[in-house]
A and B are shown apart, each in its own frame.
Chain A
């Protein structure tokens, strides 16, 4: 599965007990894919010593401040690996 620019995606609302690069403030929130940045090893796997780590596409995903915080007129863009996301 992969996401095209403009796709609406929801960040999985997980709270893993290992390292992850999903900031808490976007968990469970819906954003829009701006672009696929590159393919990189999944940090969650690297941190746990999983060898080889999964390698996935990482996306720049744009969230509106109003959705994240309930107020604000800015946007926040977060880089998220594919397995952090579901199609919304």
Chain B
């Protein structure tokens, strides 16, 4: 298996870390501690739980859509370091998230971002031709479905609230959460 250490971006990142450490702005220990804190609890299971709650509880859905931070806090994720904004998919409106400037992403609720989310191709093409990009993910939307692309250029982080799949009326909240995928939360898949 190829390690991340082999990638050119890993060498660039390490150089940047060494410059910051040399300038006295951080240390290896501080970086390790930050990454551990960031990643140990980060998982798409968190976002999935919020989605399942929104599907089953109209009051929670309203809260999540109007105040993402409050919605996250109610599910036990009160320590977000960003302002969460949740955008709902419907039968006629589809949302997809991107960060054209870097790779901003709600890591704590979606887990570590996939490699393609950080790629130049995804970042540059999603704002330009989302229908073609989504088709390459196997998501062929009807021509009359409106697409909104959310470019994460501020301290806000976006998460898609997928539409609830048909035929799931009998499922309990935990079973519903198990249907929610990371790509569904990004908007590159339907459920």
A residues apposed to B, CB below 8 Å: 21-23, 25, 37-38, 40, 58, 60, 62, 65, 68-69, 72-81
B128 & A72 in contact (Cβ 8 Å cutoff): yes
B100 & A37 in contact (Cβ 8 Å cutoff): no
B residues apposed to A, CB below 8 Å: 83, 85, 100-101, 127-131, 146-156
Partner of A75, one of B131, B148, B153, B154: B148
CB of B25 to closest CB in A, whole Å: 12
B100 & A21 in contact (Cβ 8 Å cutoff): no
> Assuming the A-B contacts A23-B100, A23-B101, A25-B127, are A37 and B149 also in contact, with contact meaning beta carbons closer than 8 angstroms in the complex?
no
Interface residues of chain A: helix, strand, loop or mixed (majority): strand
- Give the docked Cα–Cα distance between A79 and B128 (Å): 17
A72 & B129 in contact (Cβ 8 Å cutoff): yes
- Give the docked Cα–Cα distance between A65 and B133 (Å): 15
Partner of A58, one of B148, B151, B155: B155
21 A-B pairs in the complex with CB atoms less than 8 angstroms apart: A21-B153, A23-B153, A68-B127, A72-B129, A74-B130, A74-B131, A74-B147, A74-B149, A75-B147, A75-B148, A76-B127, A76-B148, A76-B149, A76-B151, A77-B149, A77-B150, A77-B151, A78-B153, A79-B152, A79-B153, A80-B153
